[in-house]
A and B are shown apart, each in its own frame.
Chain A
Amino acid sequence: TQLLEQSPQFLSIQEGENLTVYCNSSSVFSSLQWYRQEPGEGPVLLVTVVTGGEVKKLKRLTFQFGDARKDSSLHITAAQPGDTGLYLCAGAVVSYGKLTFGQGTILTVHP
């Protein structure tokens, strides 16, 4: 079983602060995805990273895939209350095979 360790589990910050969420594994993944989930809804895909060392930006969110494709990070700049939610990373060793999710990071951004 591939494991994805996500940290921190909880993050409570003030509006305008920066934050980073980490996703680490001992397994090599062919791709890694980040999702955001709001209460009462299913997760929604934010981004997929595929190449080791890849960096993708989505407005104030920056996603990075480690060189060895074993880890990833999500950095949010100048967090806003609308960023509040559960952030999940997910990795696939083989495309269209088993998908492993991290435990999730509950982010709360206070106005």
Chain B
Amino acid sequence: EAQVTQNPRYLITVTGKKLTVTCSQNMNHEYMSWYRQDPGLGLRQIYYSMNVEVTDKGDVPEGYKVSRKEKRNFPLILESPSPNQTSLYFCASSGGDIPTYNEQFFGPGTRLTVL
């Protein structure tokens, strides 16, 4: 089954404790991206990657890091989480053999709470 998986699905942590949210896709997609979703603000892009070893900032990259060492994985790293990073996070991918217009295939989401 074609899918994007994220782990963990739920996470409660404390300020300053480094964490990583993993994202993996099995569709051989070149493009992967991270978003955060907050009420009234829609989805805001954090980082995206057009291929292995290529990453670019989205609209809200501050406080986040990403890496793309393998095509299928795109982890999101919060080195020192703060309460304003409490949010619902989505990983997405697009691409593959059929040309597309960057239509995003989303994971199930990770709800993060930073105390």
> Residues of A at under 8 Å CB distance from B?
1, 6, 9, 30-31, 33, 35, 40-45, 48, 50, 88, 90, 92, 95-104
Q: Could you count the A-B residue pairs with CB atoms below 8 Å apart for me: how many are there? A: 74
Contacts of B35 in A (CB 8 A): 101
B59 touching A100 by the CB < 8 A rule? Answer: yes
Q: Which residues of A contact B48 (CB under 8 A)?
A: 97-99
- Contact in complex: A92, B101 (CB < 8 Å): yes
A45 to B106, CA, bound (A): 9
Q: List 15 A-B contacts (CB under 8 A).
A: A6-B42, A30-B101, A31-B102, A33-B103, A42-B90, A42-B108, A43-B90, A45-B104, A48-B101, A95-B101, A96-B31, A97-B102, A98-B48, A101-B44, A104-B42
B81 at the interface (CB under 8 A from A): no
B contacts, CB < 8 Å to A: 4, 30-31, 33, 35, 40-45, 48, 50, 56, 58-59, 90, 92, 94-95, 100-109
List, in ascending order, chain B residues with CB within 8 A of A92's CB: 101-102
Decide: A99 and B104 in contact? CB cutoff 8 A.
yes
The answer for the CA separation of A84 and B73 in the assembled complex, in Å, is 33
Q: Give the chain B neighbours of A98 by CB distance below 8 A.
A: 45, 48, 56, 58-59
Task: Tell me which residues across on chain B come within 8 A of A100, comparing CB atoms.
Answer: 45, 59
With most chain B CB atoms within 10 A of its CB, the pick from A40, A43, A45 is A43
Residues of A within 8 A of B92 (CB): 42
Interchain CA distance A88-B37 in the complex, whole Å: 12
Report A69 CB to chain B, min CB distance, Å. Answer: 12
Q: How far is the CB of A109 from chain B (nearest CB, A)?
A: 21
Residue of B nearest to A99 (CB): B45
Chain A's closest residue to B41 (CB) is A103
| Contacts A101-B42, A103-B40 given; does A43 touch B58 at CB 8 Å | no
In angstroms, how far is the closest chain B Cβ from the Cβ of A106?
10
Min C-beta distance of A95 to chain B, whole Å: 6
B106 with A88: CB separation less than 8 A:
no
